[in-house]
A and B are shown apart, each in its own frame.
Chain A
Amino acid sequence: MPQKGLLLRILEHDTGGKIFLAALTVVAVLLPVLNLAVPEGSALHVSTYTVTLLGKYLCYALLAIALDLVWGYCGILSLGHAAFFALGGYAMGMYLMRQIGERGVYGNPELPDFMVFLNWQELPWYWFGFDQFWFAMLMVVLAPGVLAFVFGWLAFRSRVTGVYLSIITQALTFALMLAFFRNEMGFGGNNGLTDFKDILGFNLQSDATRIGLFLATAITLALSYCVARYVVNSKLGRVVVAVRDAEDRARFIGYKVESFKLWIFVFSAMLAGIAGALYVPQVGIINPGEFSPLNSIELVVWVAVGGRGTLYGAVLGAILVNFAKTYLTGALPEVWLFALGGLFVVVTLFLPQGIVGLLRRRRRKAGLKEAAT
């Protein structure tokens, strides 16, 4: 089966997904041209700042897809998903720290600056291997994956569901935040990991690298979308929705519900980790603030605004809400949190299916009218 056939098969009946992937392709082709080829004075020039900002949005979009898989499809409202994002980010951050080498302020070839500052004599064992890109990338998916596996195994096996599960996911990310704040943990404490120089030998400050990172993010997002779509279209996807709608029934027709929840939870955590790893080199820092419970709650708002259980709705929500956030925190900084809270209330009360649900209703109404005339 040729590649194109496979792609078309995955996206069959997924109009929203086709529109999203087409738009993503257009942006991914145009943006590098407008940034690199069009001279800076021109009205069409896109600044590197904008490129990085969009790259950040795409990372959020990937994170939103991850949450949509567990919340929209499996009904597990995780209020701690940013933890997996942050873990992926830290794994990437550790690699970037090791790439600094002796160019740090203290010029120590082996130890990152913060360790020298803390008078550490040698690299802690869990930093071993992070000078290798492949190892770091492995950890980007493994660290969140293993945490999700252990956490999910305990929680799902004990049949913790609903609001109780949400609360313990929130506790999980909060506990991780407190842990990562501690200097003794060896992850840079309060300041986190920053001051990165280059990735795979490319200077992180150069425009070309920024474009490269943006493209890598866009491609990863597109691929992840297709994989996620494949998963929700598969029989496993239907079982997961069945678990969401009637958990006991799924059990009584022979599905081991816990295993299915665990699988989708771990898969989602890995996607979140990848999103975090793409995010860190673009923003140039990872600190314990990324574990903040507020981040996970914001993430839930994105998916709710876009429309859960559709994948592309999550993407739409992530981009729109973050665009609004960028605008509002610049123009009216004191308003943002109220706007976010208000948005959540409005969506919960009036748009239970989010923007996608609204559009679908519109289209169905239009369709009915057409049929009537």
Chain B
Amino acid sequence: MNPLSVFGKRRRERARDTAGAERHTVTAGEVDVSHGPILYLENITVSFDGFKALNELTLYIDDGELRCIIGPNGAGKTTMMDVITGKTRPDSGTAFFGQIMDLTRMSEYEIASAGIGRKFQKPTVFPQHTVFENLELAMRADKRVWPTLVARLSGEQRARIDEVLEIVMLMAQRDLRAAELSHGQKQWMEIGMLLMQDPRVLLVDEPIAGMTHQETERTAELLTSLAGKHSVVVVEHDMAFVRSIARKVTVLHEGHVLAEGNMDEVQNHPAVIDVYLGA
């Protein structure tokens, strides 16, 4: 077993004990990151028909960090995001959001409301809604049925939507149906939707696919600027892009962590060279 994972497990267990003892200091619905990491994935295994998409995966994401995850196709990157967002339940292992929230027991919408936002690999937007409405739907708000029926946009909320439209450079497309956007614009709109959710953790799956060079640069800028206030986890194939934003890189291979460190360390890691960068 990976010695690191034992350490991590002990670290969280201890943390949970203290959290239990000091429960009064934790507000309900708040993510407890008092011990550093915001996401704890420990010994997670997911298999599909005998194929282990994730194999004893152990991974920690610190609060406010920007992490890039790379790995060849089938390394388990998307499955990992599916586990975090509740789409896939692990066969074994634990996934915690902060100290207390057990992601394996929460449903997709609960996880989203708790503060984990996700951008999919293939842009999935609401095609019949305008760009503005897409952002409005994503906006952080009371998302239960009755409050949604009577919800009215306040001036402040409108201003926030317009602000995000500026950030993702879609102000001119504000009232266009999302179906009419170009691929790159859809990617941007999805990032905008993530911003509207104002999540603690952003999971971003291949953000620059189909983007022009300038758009890519701007995405890099944006993601870097988000780190600190949010934790950002980026899955990306484009090495140049990863190099431009990454402080810490995790390499996944066959469902577990192969190497972790800064870009240079990872690129010079013999195992990584062997399986991924293909020397």
Contact = CB atoms under 8 A, between A and B. Distances in A.
A328 interface: no
B151 A260 contact: no
Given A254-B197, A255-B143, A260-B145, A242 B129 contact: yes
B126 A249 contact: yes
A241 interface: yes
B85 interface: yes
Contacts of B126: 241-242, 245-246, 249-250
Nearest to B140: A254
Given A252-B112, A256-B109, A238 B133 contact: yes
A248 interface: yes
Q: Dominant SS at the A interface?
A: helix
B127 A245 contact: yes
A234 B143 contact: no
B112 A253 contact: yes
Contacts, number: 77
Interface string B100-131: 00000001110011000110100011111100
Given A242-B137, A245-B128, A246-B126, A235 B148 contact: yes
B137 to A, nearest CB: 6
Contacts of B197: 253-254
B154 to A, nearest CB: 12
Interface in A217-259: 231, 234-236, 238-239, 241-242, 245-246, 248-257, 259
A251 B120 CA distance: 13
B31 interface: no
B136 interface: yes
Contact of A253 (B87, B117, B128, B150): B117
Contact of B109 (A234, A245, A251): A251
Nearest to B85: A252
Contacts of A235: 136-137, 148-149, 151
6 nearest A-B pairs in the assembled complex, by CB-CB distance: A254-B112, A236-B149, A251-B108, A235-B151, A254-B113, A256-B109
10 contacts: A234-B150, A234-B151, A242-B137, A249-B125, A252-B108, A253-B138, A254-B109, A255-B143, A256-B145, A260-B145
Given A249-B120, A253-B197, A254-B109, 9 more contacts: A235-B137, A235-B148, A235-B149, A236-B149, A242-B137, A248-B124, A251-B109, A254-B143, A255-B109
